[in-house]
Amino acid sequence: MDTAAEVCAGTPEDLTWLFHRGAQRLRGTLDAVCRQEGLTDARDWIVLTGLLEHPGRTQLGLSHDLGVDKTTLTALIDRLEAKQLLIRRAVPDDRRARMPEITSAGAVVQAEVAKGRDAAEAALLANFTQSERGLLRELISRIADGSCMSESPSASCDS
């Protein structure tokens, strides 16, 4: 019988474990950058980025696109709205729907976090050659977008 420590240890051959640990390391760094800019964590920045890069979506559409549960997204939006980093507008043809929009203050915070993220990623990948960094991004991108799969990927943001 495996002990909890053995189960959680992962192995170099276990891609799920490696992605999980790599994501934890990146997320921890990004969370720290976000806190320096007055955000709670990386989820706040992801919402601001989603609004900046693809404006004009309803909260439900944003929830789907970001792969975030709509209840969780509502809490994130409430928090960002309280900090005046976004506003919510009514959708003219659907009184029940709301459309969040990033404010100019939100765009400034989003950009500052992006700079910090870039610096943190550069530090994390400093011991990789330029070629290795490019290959890493290419391979992870193919996994993330599903282009490496023969069948359609199934992920929270695709359902």
Please give the average per-residue pLDDT across 12-39, as a whole number. 91
Evaluate if residue 28 carries a pLDDT over 70: yes
Contact call for residues 63 and 70 (beta carbons, < 8 A): yes
Predicted confidence band of residue 1 (pLDDT cuts 50, 70, 90): very low
Please give the average per-residue pLDDT across 6-30, as a whole number. 82
Contact call for residues 29 and 120 (beta carbons, < 8 A): yes
Q: Which helix (H) or strand (E) holds 100?
A: strand 94-102
Q: Which of 84, 89, 83 shows the shortest CA–CA distance to 101?
A: 89
What pLDDT is stored for residue 95 in this prediction? 81
Q: Which of 21, 27, 24, 26 shows the shortest CA–CA distance to 9?
A: 21
Q: Which pLDDT tens digit goes with each residue over 87-117?
A: 999 988 888 889 999 999 999 999 999 999 9
Structural domains of the chain sorted by starting position, each given as residue range(s) with its CATH number in brackets: 14-145 (1.10.10.10)
Predicted confidence band of residue 84 (pLDDT cuts 50, 70, 90): very high
Three-state SS at 86: strand
**pTM for this model (two decimals):** 0.79
CA distances from 95 to 86, 90, 98, 99 (A): 19, 6, 8, 11
